[in-house]
Chain A
Amino acid sequence: MKRLPRTARSVDLLLDISRPTSICRSCRLRAAQQSALSTSAIRREGPVPFTERIRKRIYGTENPPGQEDPYARNSPLRQTPETREELRVLESEDDLTVQKATPESSELANMYEPANSWDSLEWVGGEDYLEALKDDEKPYVGFMHGTKVQDNDEIRAALRRAVVEVYTLHYAGREDLTDVCNARHNDDDFKSLLDRNYEWLALSIKEPRIKFAIVKRVMQLTGIRLSDYAIQTSPTVEALLQRLTTKPKPKKLVEALHADSRFANLQNVKLFERRVTPIDKEKQVGRWKVIEEALVNRDLPVTGHQ
């Protein structure tokens, strides 16, 4: 148990016998006895550490020899020969690098004044900051088309262009077919390349070199990324086109169920587009109009879950 500080003890007032007081001598003596009978040691909060007091007691002198704190981090008792050597090297380096403060540097330190508002401070981040960082001479041009191409005809035209370019290089005997990507994307309307001939869709792209070059070029032209799975499971150009122009999944399950042809022939299945409410159930059995009429006759509100 932590004891009260020595100065805060009320008994001390009694112990000071020399002080003139109105308390009788017998009471003061009893207080002195109680103070002497206390069992717990008084914790001393002083500058002398515990280990130092022990050392003094062991050596029996006020100035014991050796390290002041043998358990400190830099105590020689805790150092191995290797660490001792490292410490020695570090100390010698410190001697080299430490610079003494000159009068000028202290003047500079005195001139420092902390800011009270952020008005005059440098601002990092934000749109203006980004504008200032931009290098106008060399604007960044990405590899892929900036925005994804949405139009299916445009995607088909881009695919056709990629196929024609890659096969042209292939038949020309070029080694690196991905050179087609070096021709930067231009805004030419390559829809005009399309014609009614669909034979090119049946072309096989099983050869990995050709497939990789075509996919890379199409991704560059359209900005549409294809997953590895989609690329691997596309043996022909037509399959690749289907992957590129896949319609997004329906957001609602009921739309997908309505689109499923297997449900069309089932007479016992009914698909609802929204929650079937209690009113819907009444309507299904033809009871709602009766309920409605009865409510109106009684001047009651015709409400419920719509």
Chain B
Amino acid sequence: MPLQALRTVARSQNGVGAFILQCKRLDFHYCDWAGSSKGMNSFLQSHLPAFAASNPQIEITVSPRPRKHPVIKGTYINGREKAVCVRNMEVKEILAKAELLRDANGEKLRKAKKPVKSANESVRGIWDPFHGANWSI
């Protein structure tokens, strides 16, 4: 039986064909009393309705966390969580942080050392002793 290479099946890639947002949930925490929540409180009143309406696929919860700094927590479909403290920030800055969490994929942040990154295998394939040049020892 001749040796056959494994057939490559098309890998699913997010955004090729369909795009699934990796962020599935955003929790907004604020404090009614503390001054560091001032920007967060006005964000929740002014910008959150529009933000939630433009991102219907994200579950959004708003809950108080008394005597604590305001925090936005993102939960991702890979099971990880990302939390950003938005103390003393202004409305625009908080909106930027919410968008950052929405667009993140939930992976740990890694330094990109190589100029090119590909999900595809090498076109040269895996080395095999039965193919290619016969080396006589």
User: A residues engaging B (CB < 8 A)?
Assistant: 251-254, 256-257, 260, 262-263, 266-276
Q: Considering the complex, which residues of chain B in the window 53-100 have a beta carbon less than 8 Å from any beta carbon of chain A?
A: 53, 55-66
Would you call A263 and B61 a contact (CB within 8 A)? no
Across-interface contacts of A269 in B (CB, < 8 A): 48-49, 52, 60-62
Given A253-B32, A268-B58, A274 contacting B45 (CB threshold 8 A): no
0 or 1 for each of B29-52: is its CB under 8 Å from A? (1 = yes): 010100000000100110011001
Would you call B41 and A260 a contact (CB within 8 A)? no
CB distance from B45 to the nearest CB of A (A): 6
CB distance from A279 to the nearest CB of B (A): 14
How far is A263 from B51 in the complex, measured between Cα atoms in Å? 11
12 cross-chain CB contacts under 8 A = A253-B45, A253-B64, A256-B45, A263-B52, A266-B60, A268-B58, A268-B59, A269-B48, A269-B60, A271-B61, A271-B63, A273-B64
How far is A275 from B58 in the complex, measured between Cα atoms in Å? 21
How far is A215 from B92 in the complex, measured between Cα atoms in Å? 38
Would you call B64 and A275 a contact (CB within 8 A)? yes
Give the residue of B32, B45, B58 whose beta carbon is less than 8 angstroms from that of A252: B32
Would you call B60 and A268 a contact (CB within 8 A)? yes
Would you call B53 and A272 a contact (CB within 8 A)? no
Give the residue of A254, A256, A266 whose beta carbon is less than 8 angstroms from that of B49: A266
How far is A262 from B53 in the complex, measured between Cα atoms in Å? 9
CB distance from B101 to the nearest CB of A (A): 15
Would you call A253 and B63 a contact (CB within 8 A)? no
Q: Given contacts A256-B45, A257-B45, A267-B56, list 17 more A-B pairs with CB under 8 A.
A: A252-B32, A252-B64, A253-B30, A253-B64, A257-B62, A263-B49, A266-B53, A268-B59, A268-B60, A269-B52, A269-B62, A270-B59, A272-B61, A272-B62, A274-B63, A275-B65, A276-B61
Interface of B (DSSP majority class): mixed
Interface of A (DSSP majority class): loop
Give the residue of B53, B56, B60 whose beta carbon is less than 8 angstroms from that of A270: B60
Would you call B52 and A270 a contact (CB within 8 A)? no
Would you call A268 and B52 a contact (CB within 8 A)? yes
Across-interface contacts of B64 in A (CB, < 8 A): 252-254, 272-275
CB-nearest residue of chain A to B37: A253
How far is A270 from B45 in the complex, measured between Cα atoms in Å? 14
How far is A269 from B64 in the complex, measured between Cα atoms in Å? 14
CB distance from A194 to the nearest CB of B (A): 35
Would you call B59 and A257 a contact (CB within 8 A)? no
Would you call A271 and B56 a contact (CB within 8 A)? no
CB-nearest residue of chain A to B55: A268
Across-interface contacts of B65 in A (CB, < 8 A): 275
How far is A263 from B41 in the complex, measured between Cα atoms in Å? 15
Across-interface contacts of B61 in A (CB, < 8 A): 269-272, 276
Would you call A266 and B30 a contact (CB within 8 A)? no
Given A252-B32, A266-B53, A268-B58, A276 contacting B63 (CB threshold 8 A): yes
CB distance from B92 to the nearest CB of A (A): 19
Would you call B56 and A268 a contact (CB within 8 A)? yes
Across-interface contacts of A263 in B (CB, < 8 A): 49, 52
Q: Which 9 A-B pairs have the closest CB atoms?
A: A272-B63, A262-B49, A276-B63, A269-B60, A270-B61, A269-B52, A266-B52, A271-B62, A253-B41
Interface centre among B30, B45, B62 (most CB of A within 10 A): B62
How far is A253 from B31 in the complex, measured between Cα atoms in Å? 9
CB distance from A254 to the nearest CB of B (A): 7
